[in-house]
Structure formats: C-alpha cells, structure tokens
Amino acid sequence: MSTTKTIQSALISVFSKDGLEPIVRKLHEQNVTIYSTGGTEEFINDLGIPVVPVEEVTSYPSILGGRVKTLHPKIFGGILNRQENETDVQQMREFEIPQLDLVIVDLYPFEKTVASGASEAEIIEKIDIGGISLIRAAAKNFKDTVIVASVNEYSTLLDIISAQNGSTTLEQRKLLATKAFHVSSHYDTAIFNYFNEDDTYFKTSISEGQILRYGENPHQKGFFFGEFDKMFSKLHGKELSYNNLLDVDAAVNLILEFKNNEPTFAILKHNNACGLATRSTMAAAYLAALAGDPTSAFGGVLIANGKIDTTTAKEINSLFCEVVIAPAFDEEAVSILSEKKNRIILVQYDVELPNSQVRTCLNGLLVQERNNITDEKDHLKVVTNSAPTAQEIDDLIFASKICKNTKSNTIVFAKNSTLVASGTGQTSRVDALKQAIEKATTFGFDLNGAVMASDAFFPFPDCVEIAHNAGITAVIQPGGSIKDELSINFCNENKVSMVFTGTRHFKH
C-alpha cells in the first residue's frame, strides 16, 4: 500500500487565525471538504469558502459554554480509523463516520494567559480539552492522518500541499506528529507547573533549542535550550558557543550583585572573575578591572552594570575579548567595538532570572533554589576586639559578592573597591589563599590594608595567619566552625578585624 496520502477532508479548529487564510484557500482549490467549529467556522465562512459545521456530523451543538464541541465518536473515529483495517473501514460505513485526513489545531494560549496576570477563572478556561485531544488522536494515527498542531506549522503545511498537490508522505506526517506531541507535552507541562506546589515534582519543557557549534570541546555536540532573545539583544559578532554561554551566565549572575552600585566593570574567564572594580566612571572601572589580571583578561567575557560609552569602548577595543555585555551602549561605542568582526556585543535586558537552578547528576538531575542571599552591612557580626573601618566594611562586602560567584574553594582579596586577586577552585583553602597572594604579587598589588573574603569558615587559624603576614587587615567569612575561636584569637592578638556573615557561599 502506498504511504503517500492525498488530503480529501480536513477538520480545522484553531485559536490563532494568523496565516490560516492561504491554507484554507489552497484546500478549497484542491477540492478538500472542510469541517470546522465556532470562531474558525465563522472565519472560513467569511472567506466565502464552504465549510461543514461539526454539529452537522455529530448532531450535537456546542455545549457547556463551548467546553464541548468536537469530543464525539464521529469526529475521533474519523481521525483514528486505520484505513487498511477492514473492521475499521466497516465501522466507518456502519456509523456513517466521515474520514478526516487533516487536522489543524492551535490551542488556547494558556501560558500567555498566565503571564498576563489573569484571574484563576480565566486561566482555567484557557486549558484546552478538545484541541489537545484532537492533536493526540491525529498524531497517534500519523500513518493515515496529517496533524498541524500550532500556528508555527501553518507555513510548513502550506508548502507541502502546494508543492505536492495536497499529498503528504509518511515521513512528513511522522515529522508533523512528532512536533504535535511536543506541543501537547509542552502544554501539559505548563498546566502542571501552574498547579504544582510540591517541590519534589520537577517538570520542565522548553519549546525550542539552538544547535551550537559544539560543546565544551569540538568532539562534543552542544545545544542551548532557552529563550536567549528575552535576555539579550545581540548587536554584533559570531554565534555564541557553549563555553561563551557558560561565561555569559556567570557574568550576568556576578554583575547582578552590583546592579545598584556606582559604575562597575567585571572581566571573567572560565566562569570566574579575573578583574572587577567600581569607580566613578565606567572607563575608570574597566581599567581598574583590567589591571587586576591583564593576562587572564585575554579572550575573556566583559560585563558592565551601566552604559558603555565611547571612552570605555576605545579602551576595550585594544583587548582581545570574546563577549562584551552591558545594559546599553553609545552608538559610537558599538561602532568601535564592532571593528573586531567576531566580537560578540550583547545588550542585556533587565530580566529576572529563574529561581531554580538545574544540572545533570549521575542518572538524574539536581535542582536547587538560586543563592539569593547577598551579604550586606547589617548581616555582619564583628567577632574580634577591633572592628573594621568604614572603608574596610565596604571592601569586605565588595569582596564577599565576588567570592559568592567564584568557584570553591575560593579566597578573594579586595582593596578600594577593586578585586586585587583571588584563588579559585582549589582543593584546600590554604592553596586558594596562596594562589591569591601569588597573583597579587605578580601584578604588583600592595596587600597592606587589603581585605579577605572566604566562601566558607576557617577550621584552623592558618589562613588568617598567612593573610595577616601578607598585609590583610580585615576578614569576612561565614563562621560556624567548632574551632572559630582559634582564628578569632589570632586576629585579636594581631589586630586583624574579622566579621561573620552566618551564610556560606559554596559554588561547585
């Protein structure tokens, strides 16, 4: 039996009529019998094209305020019958069920209704019942039936029936069925998540994915599933890679800590800040951030908490960097930064990030709440005899924000609202501290009067002793070790200030 099928009848019941008219006209031109309901039927009638009301087939009107229109054996029999099955063919004749070769559906806009802030009653009425049932039925019977499950596939259908004179291949029907099941599962996930209040259930669905050049390495396939265009407008440059996206994510989370600060500029490499500074102008902030580690800045991701002006762009342009991100750019700044054809320039929108973080683990997923706690002045508990000065407190908070967004184990040095150095991703806190001291020395920073932040407590006084010997005068850490007194005592004996936050900021 031929797997090519010619469409002779169609059921059309859609919410969105955009792009529907040329399909209806093409079907009419090809002598296809069209069945429809409600607003769609009225739309087709207004085109002057014959349409058979579903009520004439079912002998039932639309009832319960339109909640029940197509849910009837004569409709679903017309969709689900197997044309090569003799019993099905016999029952179709016996019960006078019309064959339905094509089903076009576009569901009620549930997600948009939720996002609009509508009432619960309005949201409930946007849970499509008949439409979702039609989609599943037609997709299940893809061997005989064509399913178009959303307005996004209208143009695909029109291309097929125009090029093939109303015929479809099995491969085309199966592909449309696959897309239809994606539509239905995504729709059901959205409804479930609207109702669900149990954190032990986890369902997610993203409507479209983007194929990346590769994953972390060229031999790995890579994909991005998300709505990038809702967060950024790309003004220039090549397509973002898997690693670019990870760095952009780290940059966005870091700069969020400084959203309401004076001009702040950060430079990241491999998800960690290698430079960050706050100054009175963006250009000064950039230059101070770059001085923190100009070696690592090569090929990095740059992000600002405010507009990048022409002066800042001229300074940036001499650095090879992959991505530059800011909430706004001067027109001339964009022109300057675009001189490097591959440099990616992103305008970041003010969009709230998801509260849940998800990553694969073993044969499943780990899900956690976002770390939404940022250490503030009123969180600090002075645990030493001497309290930090006002400048030291500002620097301690500054360092803590960076520490929170740096891979554990980490130590961060800051001075005068500048990231002086950090030790990142080390297996011991002492190693992280020694790495930070070495980096600060390498780039000519004087640690006398600088402050230190740690993402977790000190179980021994060795870290504060090494830091003190390097010139550190104030320390911020969460506290909570049974041996906290050892570190506190050393600080008291050596006139080092220490504050506890009570909040650990591991980042693995």
Strands 321-326, 300-304: pairing kind: parallel
How far apart (Å, rounded) are the C-alpha atoms in residues 266 and 279?
A: 12
**Sign of the C-alpha dihedral computed for residues 468, 474, 479 and 484 taken in this order:** positive
Active site residue 270: yes
Six-digit token string for 470: 């390097």
How far apart (Å, rounded) are the C-alpha atoms in residues 276 and 266?
A: 4
Phi, psi for residue 171 in degrees, rounded to 5: -60, -40
Q: Of the listed 182, 186, 270, 379, which one is catalytic?
A: 270
How far apart (Å, rounded) are the C-alpha atoms in residues 497 and 392?
A: 9
409 preceded by a cis bond (ω within 30 of 0)? yes
CA geometry: angle 285, 286, 292, nearest 5 deg: 95
> Which residues, in sequence order, are CB contacts of 51 under 8 Å at separation 6+?
34, 35, 36, 41, 44, 45
Q: Are 251 and 264 in contact (CB under 8 A)?
A: no
Strand partners, 264: 278
Q: What is the DSSP string of 148-193?
A: E-SGGGHHHHHHHHHHTTTEE-HHHHHHHHHHHHHHHHHHHHHHHH
Q: Of the listed 17, 26, 28, 140, which one is catalytic?
A: 140
Helix (H) or strand (E) holding 487: helix 484-493
Instruction: State in Å, rounded, how far the first CA of the chain is from the last one.
Output: 58
How far apart (Å, rounded) are the C-alpha atoms in residues 163 and 170?
A: 16
Measure CA 332 to chain center.
30
Closest CA to 74 of 127, 137, 32: 137
How far apart (Å, rounded) are the C-alpha atoms in residues 416 and 399?
A: 10
Active site residue 140: yes
> Which residues, in sequence order, are CB contacts of 407 under 8 Å at separation 6+?
271, 272, 424, 425, 507, 508
Give the active site residues.
140, 270
